[in-house]
Structure 1
């Protein structure tokens, strides 16, 4: 989803995403703070995984390149996706706001990549305090460029896939993401204590390592595995766990 971006630098993870009351509420519970000038939510970088989990929970995606490479076009009955009147005059699909009515007597505004396929949108809806879209059952809209992964947020049968687009994977973005993950793994390895070792016989070691006993004995003799000889002159192998 191109309208979601996550960047981490200088100890901060920044998120740009469409406005959603659920995301705002839950972002605060994990220390999120709104940065007005940057127009982004900011978190401690140590909470990046929690932030990405929250994005997937609310929007169905965290904006990863792999999600944006597999897009679908769907058709939905707009009335099926209108939110509660107390949550605003909106209709949402797969974590995206697809339509809104700013005021009771204002025209319904369809979001980018959303087009009216059938039916007619009413010219008024709701009350002055609580405007609503109030689409009839005949109003069908087409929502384009939806990451397939976000469909998990919707009830099966509440949409019809009418098109698929498998775009080219952004190799540079994937390489950058891999470098970030490898760097984080290196940080985790540095923080973890040294693994403890379990001493075992050559037969048990061979079974655990998937090799023959003779191979384990040769590795012990050449120092390829950590080993010592017991009082009977038999090899005792140390396997780290």
Structure 2
């Protein structure tokens, strides 16, 4: 059975995404909006975390209050653009552990090559959330998740800002057990593997390294 794809269509998310898509949006504005949307994406992707209860004292009375229980979380940032989603996810879950996977895309073959794989050892038992703003061809996400599974991860979810139908289909075929949370599924990929209408290269826009 193929895992779910959730598009977070909240009006605030869609409005902020439009502000990010604009060519004239500055890197500072792009980072701020990605952070804000990342909070919504995190809320949605983690909405089924199990709850337990603990006794606390409020200023009024003792209370059996809900708290998150169960396995801890690990966030995996696919470098470099994944850093833009890592910050808001850590705002939501400051105690999560963090790993990084560095992948560089060959601009001819569009296939990723790995230059960094540094993840916590307890990915084998934790819920692992893989972060990358763009799910275009799907090659990077597929490679990163395959490497995580080889390292022993078994409970994996994927969060992105934008997806192309081709990337969603490829990721679901390669890893049908991995749920996807995104803010939008755009029209298509162009002939160089960019999402259309998209927003350009998320890493360049996030860090101000795009060509002018």
Q: Could you state the TM-score of these two structures normalised by the residue count of structure 1? A: 0.19
Q: Could you state the TM-score of these two structures normalised by the residue count of structure 2? A: 0.21
Of structures 1 and 2, the one scoring higher in RCO (CA 8 A, sep 6+) is: 2
